[in-house]
Amino acid sequence: MSDSSLERSTKINLLKEPAVKKLCDVLDKSSKKGWRKLGEIVGNDRRFRVSSDDMEMCSLKVLELEGSPSRMLLRLMGERGCTTGQLADYLQTVGNSEAQQCLKPPALQILLQPQSVALISGHNLRLSCLASGRSPVQYQWFKTKEEVPNSFSADLVISPVHLKDAGFYICRVNSGDAFEFSRWAQVEVMDVTVSCGQSYHSLEGRLKMVIQPQSQRLYVGESLQLECGAVGRPIPRYQWHRNGVPLPNATKRKLMIPHSIQDHSGRYRCEISSSTERMWSNEVDIVIEPRISVQISVAMECSEDDVLTIGEGSSAFFLNSIPDHLYATDKVALLIGNLSYQNHPQLKAPMVDVYDLTNLLRQLNFQVVSLLDLTETEMRNAVDEFLLLLHKGVYGLLYYAGHGYENYGNSFMVPVDAPNPYRSANCLCVQSILKLMQEKETGLNVFLLDMCRKRNYHDDSAPNIILRVTANIVFGYATCQDAEAFELSSSGFTNGVFVKFLKKRLLDNEKITVVLDRVAEDMGQFDATKGKQALEIRSSLSERRALTDPILPGDSGDHAHRLQWAKAHELPESMCLNFDCGAQIKLGFAAEFSNVLVIYTHIVKKPENMSSCQAHVTDFSQDLDVDPKEMNRETPEETGIYLLSSNLPQHCLYTRVSSLQKLREELVFTVCLQGTFPAMDDESVHWTKSISIGRPLIARLDLNRAMRRNSCLQTCLIPHSPSHSPCHSPCHSPGPEHHLHPPHGGHQVQDFSRLSPLHLCPDVTERFQGAVGGCGDSYYDNLCQPFYEPAAGLSSSPGRLSIPIETTDDITELQTVFINSLQLQQQ
C-alpha cells in the first residue's frame, strides 16, 4: 500500500488536534462553504447519512462556550467510519480550498502510537508504531535513553518477556530529513507464577486480575505493604481505597506505608480501571495493634501468640494487650441531607455537605450511611436502623442538614414531605433520638445539626423528654439559639458555612469539643456571617474522646444486623451483555450516596458490518427518581452527577437513579441497543435485554416500610395543639408581610431585611430558607442561583480523587531527560 493511499484510508477521528482545530475554524467561519454545506453533501451519501436531527444537534453547539458545529459534524462522520480521503473529496465538492489545505499531510506522520501494557513474565511483548512519510520510513526503538538492539521495524517484539524488560519505551521515526518521536509506552511485567495458578492467553479486551491483596495483622511502627495487579492493554490504572474512601497519592500497583499507626487500620481494596473498564480487588482487613512494653523481674510463662519480641538479655517484651487510652468498640454515622422539599423552599448545600463529611468520616473508620431527601417515614426508619447498630462503647454520630426549628430547648428535623405549616408531630425530635442512644450505653454521642434554630410559633407543644445524666454527649449547632444558619450564595456547588470550616478540622487528632471550638473560632473570622451566625457547642463530655480514637471491637452488638448493614452498601457487580447481533455492552455501577446509584453503559465491541451502535437504559420503576430528560447523557454532569464525575470511566452514557429507599421490589430496567447497517440503508434496528440487579445499596433496608411499634416515632410524637396566632414562625413564613409586622401576643418579629444578602451579606444566603420563607416571591429568589457547576470546582473537597491518567509524572520527567540526552549526544 502506498503512503498516499495509507493517508487517505486514515479515519478522520485519528487526525491530530492541530489539524482538526484549524479545519473546524475554517468551516465554522465560512457561511456559504462551511459546515452546513458539508453536512448537506454528506447527508446525501448513504454511507454516512447525516440526518436533519444531526444537523440541528450540531447547530446547538454555538450556544456552548467554545462550542463548534464543525467539530460535532466531524465527530459524527468519524463515528460512522469516514476516512480522510472521503472528507477531502467532500471538501472538494464544497469548493473550500482553504479547508482542503488543512488536510494536506505533513512530511512525516505517526499513524499508530505504541500502547502501554501490563503482562506476565514469560509472555510475548509486542509494541507497534506505524508512520507514513514522503520518503521511506525508518524506525528505531529506545528503552529510556538506550537504543534497543536490532529494533528497526514498526513492531518491537520481545519473546519471551522478563522482569528486566519492564520500563518505558519510545520509537523514533525518520523520513528523509524529518523525524518524529512516538508517545512513551510503559511496559509492566509481573512475576505471578506462585500467586496465580492459571494462564492468561490474551491481553486484549477485558482486564484480568492476577494479584490480589492479602489481609494483614501488624503492630504499630511496622511497614504495611499491599499489592494488587492486573494485566491488560492499555496498562491498568490503580487507586487504593480505605473504608470506601480514595487514598491521596495511592495510585501505584503497590501501596506502602513505612511506619504504620493505628489509624491505618481498616478495610482496603484497590480500584483497577482502563479507559473502558473498571474492576475491584478483594477487600481485605488491615489491623494495626498497639505495642505495650512490660517490665518483668521474675520468670513467667507466656504463649507464642502473646509475645511479639523478646530481646536477648533484656527483661522487656511486648504483649498483645488492650491499650490504656480511650477507644471505641465501633463507629457508626448517619448523615441526612434534605434539600428537595415539597412544600418549603429548596436548599442547595446539604448535598455537598453530606458528600464531603461522608468521605472524611470514612477516613476515621466510621461506618457511614449518607442519605438525601427523606420523608418522615424514611427518616424515622433510617434512625431505627442506625440505633440497631449502637451498643456499649460505640461512637454514634448524627449529622443533619435541612430545614429545622427549636422549641423549648428541643431541636426538630423537618422531612421533605412536611406539610405547610409543620409541627412537632411531622418532624423528628433530636433529643428523643438521644434518649434512645443513651439506652444503648454508647461511648460517645455526637450531634451535628446544620439547620435553623428559630422558634416555630405554629407548634406550642411543651415536650417533656427526660434524659439520663451521662458524660458523653456533644452537640454542635451550626448557629445559636433563635438564629438562622447560612449557605454560601453561588451559581455552583459550595458547602454551607458550618461544613466549610468543619471539614478542615474534622480529621484533627483532638478531643471532639476542642475540634468544634476551633471550628467556632474559624467561623468567627468569616466576614460574610460575622454577627449573624456563630457555632454553639453543648457538651457533657468528661473524657478526652476524639473521633480519631481507635476501634477495639467488643463482644456485644447485633452481628447479623451489622452484616445486613454492610450488604446494604455493596454495589452491584458490573456486567458485560452480549447481543445477538454480535455487539457487547459493558454495564457498570457507582454510588454517589447510599440512596443514589449511577449506571453507565459503554460499547465494548461493535460488529464490523454495523455502521453505528448505541446503548441506553430505560423502563425504570416509577418509585424511583429518574428524570427521562437526564438519562443516558454523554457526560456525568448532564445527568446531575457532579460530585462523583471525576471518578467515573470516560466515553460512556450515564444515568443517575435517586431515592433508592423508595424501591419496593428488585430494581429491574431495560438495556436497549440501537444499531444501523449500511446494507439496510442505515435503518435502525433495536435489541433489548431486561436486567435485574436486586435491591441495590440502601434499598435492602426497606426504609419505606410502615413504622414499627418500637420505632423512634413513639418518643418523637409530642402532644400539640394548633396555634391560632396569625403570626407565622420565622422558620417558615408564608408571606413577606410577616417580615414587616409583629405577631400577636407582643412578640417582636426580627427584621430579616437586615440579614438579607442583598444588603449586608453579598456572598451568603440564609441556609434553610424556612427562616425567611416570606421572600419566596421576592428579590430573594433571584439570589439563589442554580445548584451546579463543573466538578472541578470541588477539587478541594477531601476524598475526591480523580482516576489517574496514563501519562504520569514519571513519563513527563522521562520525556525531558530523554530529549536532553539526545541533544547532548548531538553536541
Which residues are marked as active site?
A: 403, 452
Contacts of 268 (CB under 8 A, 6+ apart): 213, 226, 240, 241, 242, 255, 283, 284, 285, 286
What is the spatial distance between Cα 464 and Cα 480, in angstroms, rounded to a whole number? 22
Cell of 224: 504495611
| DSSP letter, residue 329 | S
Residue with cell 449518607: 370
Residue 233: CA count within 13 A, CB half-sphere: 18
Are 496 and 350 contacting, i.e. CB atoms less than 8 angstroms apart?
yes
Cell of 523: 467561623
What is the spatial distance between Cα 37 and Cα 50, in angstroms, rounded to a whole number? 12
Are 33 and 10 contacting, i.e. CB atoms less than 8 angstroms apart?
no
Residue with cell 503497590: 254
- Cα distance from N-terminal residue to C-terminal residue, the chain: 38
Cell of 632: 443516558
3-state secondary structure (DSSP) of residue 46: helix
Phi and psi of 147, rounded to 5°? -65, 140
What is the spatial distance between Cα 757 and Cα 490, in angstroms, rounded to a whole number? 12
Are 577 and 404 contacting, i.e. CB atoms less than 8 angstroms apart?
no
HEC readout, 627-677: CHHHCCECCHHHHCCCCCHHHCCCCCEEEEEECHHHCCCCCEEEEEEEEEC
What is the spatial distance between Cα 261 and Cα 248, in angstroms, rounded to a whole number? 17
Are 3 and 132 contacting, i.e. CB atoms less than 8 angstroms apart?
yes
What is the spatial distance between Cα 105 and Cα 758, in angstroms, rounded to a whole number? 59
Between CA 545 and CA 551, with CA 550 as vertex, the angle to 5 degrees is 110
Q: Which of 383, 422, 420, 417 is nearest to 405 (CA)?
A: 422
Positive/negative CA dihedral, 20, 26, 32, 33: negative
Contacts of 454 (CB under 8 A, 6+ apart): 405, 406, 482, 483, 484, 729, 730, 731, 770, 771
Q: Which long-range contacts (CB under 8 A, 24 or more apart) does 760-765 make?
A: 760/532, 761/486, 761/528, 761/529, 761/532, 762/489, 762/528, 763/488, 763/489, 763/528, 764/486, 764/487, 764/488, 764/489, 764/497, 764/528, 764/529, 765/486, 765/487, 765/488, 765/489
Positive/negative CA dihedral, 274, 280, 284, 285: positive
What is the spatial distance between Cα 66 and Cα 638, in angstroms, rounded to a whole number? 17
What is the spatial distance between Cα 690 and Cα 672, in angstroms, rounded to a whole number? 9
Residue with cell 530529549: 819
What is the spatial distance between Cα 799 and Cα 795, in angstroms, rounded to a whole number? 9
Are 235 and 186 contacting, i.e. CB atoms less than 8 angstroms apart?
yes
Altogether, the residues listed in the chain come to a count of: 827
Cell of 722: 394548633
Cell of 109: 506522520
What is the spatial distance between Cα 551 and Cα 560, in angstroms, rounded to a whole number? 19
Cell of 735: 408571606
Are 452 and 767 contacting, i.e. CB atoms less than 8 angstroms apart?
yes
What is the spatial distance between Cα 58 and Cα 36, in angstroms, rounded to a whole number? 9
The backbone region for 150, taken as left when phi is positive above 0, alpha when psi lies in -120 to 50, beta otherwise, is left
